[in-house]
Amino acid sequence: MKNIPLLPLRKTFLFPYMVVPLFVGRKKSISSLEKAVAKDKLIVATCQKNQDAEEPEEEDLYPLGTVAEILQVLKLPDGKVKVLLEGLYRAKLSNIKKDPFFSCSSKRLKFHSKKTKKAEALIRYVSKDFAEYAKLKGDVLNVNDILEIQEPDQFSDQVASCLQISLEKKEKLFTEAEPEKRLTALSFILSSEIEMLKLEKEIQQKVAKQMEKTKKEYLLSEKIKAIQDELGKEDYDETEEILAEIERAELPKEAKEKAERELCRLRKMPETMAERAIIRNYIDWLISLPWNKKNSEKIDIAEAKRILEENHLGLFKVKERVLEFLAVSKLAGRLPGSILCFVGPPGVGKSSVAQSIAKALGREFTRFSLGGLKDESEIKGHRMTYVAAMPGKILQMIRRMQSKNPVFLLDEIDKVSPYLLSSFLELLDPEHNSRFLDHYIDIPFDLSDLLFITTANTLHSIPSSLLDRMEIIEFPSYTEEEKLRIAKKFLIPKTTIGSGLPHLKVSDRAIKRVISCYTKEAGVRGAEKELTKICQKVAKEVVEGNKDKSQITVKNLTKYLGCPSYKEKSIGSANLPGVSYLLAYTEMGGEVLVCEVVTLPGSGKLYLTGKLGDIIKEQAETGLSYIRSKAERLSLQSDFDKRYDLHIHIPEGAIPKDGPSAGVAMVATMVSSLTNIPIKNGVAMTGEITLTGQILPVSGIKEKVLAAHRAGVSKVIIPKENERDILDIPKNVRKRLSILALSDMDEVIKEIGLIKVGSQ
């Protein structure tokens, strides 16, 4: 058939035996319809490959179409035409033209029309699937009529035309001329579509069920609101506000799920229930913790060095260690795993150095004093079920900082109870604190970004398992010269300006007198208190009208501070048998103590007074055994231990004393008392004694020597194995006193002038 009008279709195929209404709007398509109606009412319909083409070329159209009969044509007011077409048979298109209207030549496609057993089997199989498909789609109007058709060609085309499938799948069915092959393709397509429809239905049912539940909850909440309105209560739902806060907080998955579960519980509780406040408080804690908030940091070694030099005088080794720590952090891209532990007497700058580190890193700084801490709940919180439960101090301070990477100072860790060891092992171990579990929050919180710094006055009370996790940095005592410089550079400007007396001057001699006669310490905290006391008294005078005070000198110092609290030590002035000076290391730094021994008629008993601990008592007993073993060489009577009692006393009996450092001094003092020979003037001693007279090393040599220097000692005797510690002592101190490192008690007795060892 030549020059038959052509009707291009968008997004659809017209199958044979199919009756379909179409709306035609293109002018050339309308012209094709008019030409067909005027001639024999036959027209060829085919689908466009390019759906956007307004005047499709031959390559834009499928080469296969359907010859259809025009059953009805209706012109619409908007210029479009509604046409009803009935597909007759497939035809191959050629010689497509578009002027003056769409037309082409068509040739009917031939196929095997013989009905076979295979075709019958395929019809039955497809009929079954098509019936199920129609049922799932909810469209069963024409299904029965189609299922009654037994002719393979007509049946397959009717089924294909009813399927709601993609254009690609319809093309596959339309372009297949052989009915049996078309039925086979239909069976595969129907099986796939049925599976998809079942899945869609299952999903739809779940969604509907959830919607039903949501609708039910909504209706119930509306009823509750109506009841509240009836009772005259405010229509306010705080849970919506809490939910919005949870979303804004950007919580980790585990914390968010926990918060939502607790919020769900809160919704179901009556407003009068006391547990509502507990749950609300818990949710507030979850929301307010900085789960992901950090301070941005930039490690600048030069800036850190400037800050340390600006804020701290001396402490050269401490500053060097801190800068090394920061340098490793900069190169590694993270802080080292070890925890810094600052060890030293009070007032030597441990806390202020920690603050300088925080400033150098650009982090927040917080401090937690551990002195007297005995309850684990202070660290890890109480369970939520307890009355007035709260998180531990760690999370409390982190929330206050609103940052998960502050510098966290744990002050006085040496005062912590042994019962809390496990809590601190978890807190300070980098391998475990990334999932720190507070009992109240009950969700792991990452503490690995915190920089923990601990402080201690001594190390002997810290458990070894905890000490292994810390990097020890020792803070030495200050010399008097260093204290003077610190007072002039930091303390006096701070106290005078803070008291409103910026023009008040304090002479160097007055400062030295405050340091030596009004304080007894390794640091400068006491000196700051005394200077503050002076400024307060001067401020009172100024307010009362006396504005002449502009300088504090040695002459008017007693007017403001009264009589000196301590005498300037000048040991060695007394030259009595049975008196010596021993060097001790306490929490307050180095100390020079007096050791006294008297020999009394008796039966060989040993009395020890002065609030002495077990270790120092054992040293006294060990020393006495050594003297008994050396009685002949020391020119003592062989039965002196049966004829005399010895009484050892270390004054300042209200202060507890313990440790092995007093061993050498006690032996020397007992020998001095027994031989009635005084010890050389200006000598102080430290060291642990053995039964054979060997002197063992002790700790705190630097602090002890500095204390001896402050007290005016001229010679210090230390254990031989502590000789390496002499290099840590400031040069100006080493120049002013003699430091002897001895290994045997015989050498000490000879050095202090008691007896020439070995003489008979």
Residues with catalytic roles:
661, 704
CA trace torsion 583, 584, 588, 593 (10° rounding): -60
Contact 289, 245 (CB under 8 A): no
CA trace torsion 335, 336, 337, 343 (10° rounding): -100
Beta strands in 619-666 (DSSP E): 644-649
CA trace torsion 389, 394, 400, 402 (10° rounding): -120
- Which residues are CB-neighbours of 92 under 8 A, at least 6 positions away? 63, 64, 106, 107, 109
Which pairing describes strands 365-369 and 407-411: parallel, antiparallel, or unpaired?
parallel
- Judged by DSSP in three states, 59 sits in helix
CB atoms within 10 A of CB 482: 19
Contact 42, 138 (CB under 8 A): no
* Per-residue CA distances from 472 to 67, 68, 430, 447, 531 (Å): 97, 97, 16, 21, 32
Instruction: List beta partners, residue 408.
Output: 366, 452
* Helix ranges restricted to H, 417-569: 421-428, 464-467, 480-486, 492-498, 508-517, 525-543, 554-561
Distance separating alpha carbons of residues 677 and 754, to the nearest angstrom? 6
Contact 96, 104 (CB under 8 A): yes
Contact 630, 693 (CB under 8 A): yes
Residue whose token pair is 């039925």: 183
Please report, in angstroms and rounded to a whole number, the separation of the first and last CA atoms in the chain.
150
DSSP string, 81-103: EEEEEEEEEEEEEEEEE-SSS-E
Q: Cα Rg for the chain, rounded, in angstroms? A: 50
Comparing CA positions, the residue from 593, 689, 607, 691 lying closest to residue 645 is 607
Question: How far is residue 41 CA from its own chain's centroid?
Answer: 82
- Judged by DSSP in three states, 314 sits in coil
Which pairing describes strands 103-108 and 4-9: parallel, antiparallel, or unpaired?
antiparallel
Number of H helices, E strands in the chain: 27, 22
With left for phi above 0 and alpha for psi between -120 and 50, is residue 250 left, alpha or beta? left
Half-sphere exposure (Cβ direction) of 508: Cα atoms closer than 13 Å: 6
Burial of 492 (0-12, 13-18, 19+ CB in 10 A): buried
Token digits for 355? Answer: 């603050």
Distance separating alpha carbons of residues 441 and 609, to the nearest angstrom? 52
Distance separating alpha carbons of residues 169 and 334, to the nearest angstrom? 59
